[in-house]
């Protein structure tokens, strides 16, 4: 890529083309950082904090599950022998009634106890999960016994003859020692964590999250709590919604926001900030690594007179390799993409809804493809509750309220708010994004649309 900024405002990309460009940029830029991101040796986390993280190495079972044969039911542990089966068959042939045999009742086996071996002709009361005694190979549920309750040791009980293995959980029937139960790169869910705990793990190695420098731009922007707004928001100023909105979205997507700043429309100041945070080396005994893995900015990339990101990177010399393009979508058309000191730089539009949609459509899928997290948004087809118009040649992303299927009704969705990119209130009401392809200009009520669930 040539050095410097390439201004491609007149060039239009499709959503699919820009998705490919973002994934390609991250793939190329992070290819040289395997120890930092792609194959971290393992940030060790307690199980309680590992949900939603990506496993750094294969999880290998150190023991069998179950670790011993145990009972699947409350009942009687018995030894089913060939002689007993033959006798049961003989008696069954001579009678239409079910055949039972009398057993001497042994000691009760509770879960957690190590039982004595089962004596021949004995049935031992056994609880669910309790270890099977040596010599026993089947369990008869207590409700099939006569009487249908537990009898004290030394008494007798009549039981049908089960097949060998009935209601017995054999050792290793779930997981065998040495098996890979979760491969490196797995996105850890609650089942993984439960399995890890069952295998005795208290912590797991997970990949380090990508670290991001997050910038909001504009002279008109004040951080909530800024002393300048102590007596109320000054005229012409707005509070910074993008920092909170994007931080939450990025952290949900498995990204660590290392630093965040509100940047004024001062290209030189922005450049100094970037030079202080991007590509600088961290102190330590290990190999040096960048202070951040990616820069994300909101605002300053469009066609106005004070586009600070464009202006700053245009004066950055060989440090910056950037494209500024227009994606055929609404909201979120203006996009910046490139590197600063070799670190990926994503320039997002400044309107909050546009920035949010850009993360959802471009960054989240790229991270999922490259790092295994986050999970992609669940995508469904729903029936549109009302008609909708869309501008020609633009992929529209509308905020919507999705209603899942009830009884025989199909899932449906309705738009909330309009298409304007400043309507943050309607985004807060939405639980879905309605996707309207670029080639569609009119949709009637009842039309089927693709919906991404938030």
Number of residues written out for the chain: 454
Task: Give yes or no for a cis peptide into 374 (omega within 30° of 0).
Answer: yes
What's the whole-model pTM score? 0.82
In the block, tokens 């003989």 appear at 90
pLDDT at 36: 47
Task: Give yes or no for a cis peptide into 167 (omega within 30° of 0).
Answer: no
Quote the distance between the C-alpha of residue 150 and its chain's center.
47
What is the set of domains in the chain, with CATH numbers?
4-40+208-371 (3.40.980.10), 70-169 (2.170.190.11), 379-453 (2.40.340.10)
CA-to-CA distance for 441 and 433, rounded, in angstroms? Answer: 17
- Please answer whether residues 140 and 123 qualify as being in contact, where contact means their C-beta atoms are separated by less than 8 angstroms: yes
Cβ neighbors of 8 (< 8 A, separation 6 or more) are: 323, 324, 325, 326
Cβ neighbors of 271 (< 8 A, separation 6 or more) are: 312, 313, 315, 316
pLDDT at 208: 86
CA-to-CA distance for 58 and 76, rounded, in angstroms? Answer: 40
pLDDT at 408: 64
- Please answer whether residues 253 and 364 qualify as being in contact, where contact means their C-beta atoms are separated by less than 8 angstroms: yes
State pLDDT tens for residues 52-96.
999 999 999 999 999 999 999 999 999 998 677 666 666 655 555
Task: Give yes or no for a cis peptide into 38 (omega within 30° of 0).
Answer: no
> For the chain, how far is it from start to end, CA to CA, in angstroms?
36
CA-to-CA distance for 420 and 213, rounded, in angstroms? Answer: 27
pLDDT at 249: 94
Sign of dihedral through CA atoms 128, 132, 133, 136? positive
pLDDT at 125: 99
pLDDT at 374: 86
Cβ neighbors of 130 (< 8 A, separation 6 or more) are: 70, 71, 109, 110, 111, 112, 113, 115
Distances in Å between the alpha carbon of 162 and those of 46, 76, 90, 120, 213? 44, 11, 15, 16, 66
CA-to-CA distance for 242 and 434, rounded, in angstroms? Answer: 22
Which stretches of the chain score pLDDT less than 50? 1-2, 9-10, 34-36, 40, 281-290
State pLDDT tens for residues 331-352.
999 999 999 999 999 999 999 9
Q: Is 148 exposed, middle or buried (0-12, 13-18, 19+ CB in 10 A)?
A: exposed
pLDDT at 79: 96
């Amino acid at each position: 890529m040539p050095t410097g900024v390439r201004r491609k405002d007149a060039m239009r990309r499709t959503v699919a083309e820009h998705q490919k460009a973002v994934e390609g940029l991250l793939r190329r830029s992070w290819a040289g950082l395997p120890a930092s991101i792609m194959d971290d040796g393992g940030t060790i986390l307690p199980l309680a904090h590992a949900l939603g993280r990506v496993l750094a190495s294969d999880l290998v079972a150190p023991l069998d599950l179950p670790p011993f044969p145990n009972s699947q039911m409350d009942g009687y542990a018995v030894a089913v022998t060939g002689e007993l089966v033959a006798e049961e068959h003989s008696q069954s042939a001579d009678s239409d009634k079910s055949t039972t045999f009398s057993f001497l009742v042994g000691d009760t086996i509770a879960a957690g106890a190590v039982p004595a071996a089962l004596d021949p002709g004995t049935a031992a009361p056994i609880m669910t999960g309790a270890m099977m005694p040596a010599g026993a190979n089947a369990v008869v549920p207590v409700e099939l016994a006569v009487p249908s309750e537990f009898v004290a040791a030394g008494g007798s009980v009549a039981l049908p003859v089960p097949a060998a293995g009935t209601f017995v959980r054999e050792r290793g029937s779930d997981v065998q020692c040495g098996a890979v139960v979760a491969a490196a790169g797995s996105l850890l869910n609650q089942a993984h964590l439960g399995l890890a705990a069952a295998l005795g793990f208290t912590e797991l190695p997970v990949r380090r999250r990508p670290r991001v420098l997050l910038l909001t731009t504009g002279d008109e922007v004040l951080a909530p709590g800024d002393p300048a707004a102590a007596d109320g928001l000054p005229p012409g100023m707005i509070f910074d919604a993008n920092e909170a909105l994007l931080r939450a979205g990025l952290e949900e997507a498995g990204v660590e926001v290392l630093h965040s700043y509100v940047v004024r429309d001062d290209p030189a100041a922005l450049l100094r900030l970037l030079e202080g945070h991007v590509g600088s080396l961290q102190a330590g005994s290990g190999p040096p690594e960048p202070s951040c893995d990616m820069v994300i900015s909101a605002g300053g990339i469009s066609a106005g007179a004070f586009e600070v990101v464009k202006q700053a990177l245009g004066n950055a010399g060989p440090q910056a390799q950037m494209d500024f393009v227009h994606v055929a979508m609404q909201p979120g058309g203006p996009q910046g993409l490139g590197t600063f000191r070799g670190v990926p730089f994503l320039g997002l539009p400044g309107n909050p809804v546009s920035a949010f949609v850009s993360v959802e459509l471009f960054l989240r899928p790229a991270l999922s493809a490259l790092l295994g997290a986050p999970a992609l948004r669940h995508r469904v087809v729903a029936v549109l509750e009302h008609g909708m118009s869309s501008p020609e040649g633009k992929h529209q992303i509308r905020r919507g309220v999705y209603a899942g299927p009830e009884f025989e009704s199909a899932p449906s969705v309705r738009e909330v708010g309009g298409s304007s990119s400043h309507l943050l209130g309607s985004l807060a009401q939405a639980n879905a994004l309605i996707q309207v392809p670029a080639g569609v200009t009119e949709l009637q009520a009842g039309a089927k649309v693709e919906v991404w669930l938030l």
